[in-house]
Amino acid sequence: MVREPFFVQISDTHLFEDPSTRLWDVAPEPMLDRALDEVRKLDGHPAFIIVSGDCSSDGSVESYQRLRRKVERLGVPVYYIPGNHDDPQVLSKVLCDKELGPNAKLMQTFEALGWRFILLDSHIPGEDGGALGDAQRAWLRTTLAAEPRTPTIVIVHHNPMPVGSEWLDPMTLSDANALLAILDTSPQVRAVLFGHIHQVFETARDGAQYLSAPSTFFQFKPNSPRFGKDERPPGVRLVRLNGDTVRSAVFRFGEPLPPI
């Protein structure tokens, strides 16, 4: 059993307009269905779900519509951010009920369980890597400064630091150092969650945990100089909030539920 209150981070679902489409010889759609079935089986009840980017592989309206129907059947609030494979304008309209102007960033914040959550948009059109940009970083500084005493979690798709994979690390945030400079001077930030790397990465920096979630369908081999598949099963990250501290573990499907 997962002790409440907790939430679930789902990442890199990579749905297509055609649900039978395969990526890296794996169909993402049935893998997402399994992931959601596993979340339903948890004894505890998540407060909400965060989907941390690459929701779609082709940016199609149909892929986002199916994703929304599937995830919202869990019966809890769901929050989405764009990844490098997404179309932020379509994602924002279909999944967030917001109209997003051309070249605009989807910047979001919400409060739950006594915590503040800041959702960033690192998408760059046509690029595998990401960036926040000057305007979004300025918004982040202002948003953090507005509530310096509220424990906060920041969510972004791209990893803000290298993870030890030579082929993957060039596809990180181009302005990662500028982002880290903001986070390092914001002691209320207790965790930074991200996706993109299709593997588990965990580290700490200046009092904040930096945590990735595995993909729900395909895992990249960690610490590899070239692209390769990791045979460990897909999963989700479970995050439990205890006062102003974060406890977290990755739940891989078919493996025992980790205590958090």
130 and 172 Cβ atoms separated by less than 8 Å:
yes
Work out the average pLDDT over 187-211: 97
Alpha helices (runs of H) in 119-196, residue ranges in sequence order: 134-146, 176-184
- CA–CA dist 147, 219 (Å, integer): 37
Containing structural domain, residue 218: 6-252
Residue 150 — pLDDT band, cuts 50, 70, 90?
very high
| 33 Cβ neighbours under 8 A, 6+ residues apart | 70
- CA–CA dist 29, 225 (Å, integer): 28
Q: What is the pLDDT of residue 260?
A: 80
| 137 domain residue, yes or no | yes
Give how far the C-alpha of residue 21 lies from the chain's centroid of Cα atoms, to the nearest Å: 23
Q: Could you tell me the end-to-end alpha-carbon distance of the chain, in angstroms, rounded to an integer?
A: 9
Residue 3, pLDDT > 80, answer no
* Helical (H) or strand (E) element with 52: strand 49-52
| 85 domain residue, yes or no | yes
* Helical (H) or strand (E) element with 68: helix 61-72
- CA–CA dist 10, 206 (Å, integer): 25
Q: What is the pLDDT of residue 34?
A: 95
Nearest to 56 by CA among 33, 83, 21: 83
Residue pLDDT, tens place only, 51-68? 999 999 999 999 999 999
Q: Residue 75 belongs to a domain with what CATH number?
A: 3.60.21.10
| 44 domain residue, yes or no | yes
Work out the average pLDDT over 185-209: 97
Conformational region of residue 140, where left means phi above 0, alpha means psi within -120 to 50, and beta covers everything else: alpha
**% of the chain beyond a pLDDT of 70:** 100
Residue type, 14: H
131 burial (CB, 10 Å; 0-12 / 13-18 / 19+) is buried
| 108 Cβ neighbours under 8 A, 6+ residues apart | 79, 81, 96, 118, 119
Domain count, the chain: 1
| 127 domain residue, yes or no | yes
Residue pLDDT, tens place only, 154-186? 999 999 999 999 999 999 999 999 999 999 999
Residue pLDDT, tens place only, 234-246? 999 999 998 899 9
Residue 258 — pLDDT band, cuts 50, 70, 90?
confident
- Whole-number mean pLDDT of the chain? 96
Q: What is the pLDDT of residue 103?
A: 86
- CA–CA dist 163, 168 (Å, integer): 8
| 258 domain residue, yes or no | no
Q: What is the pLDDT of residue 4?
A: 78
Q: What is the pLDDT of residue 44?
A: 85
DSSP for 87-126, written as a single string: -HHHHHHHHH-----TT----EEEEETTEEEEE-----TT
| 259 domain residue, yes or no | no
Quote the DSSP letter at residue 206.
Answer: T
| 227 domain residue, yes or no | yes
Residue 1 — pLDDT band, cuts 50, 70, 90?
low
Q: What pTM did the predictor assign?
A: 0.96
86 and 123 Cβ atoms separated by less than 8 Å:
yes
- CA–CA dist 237, 249 (Å, integer): 6
| 160 domain residue, yes or no | yes
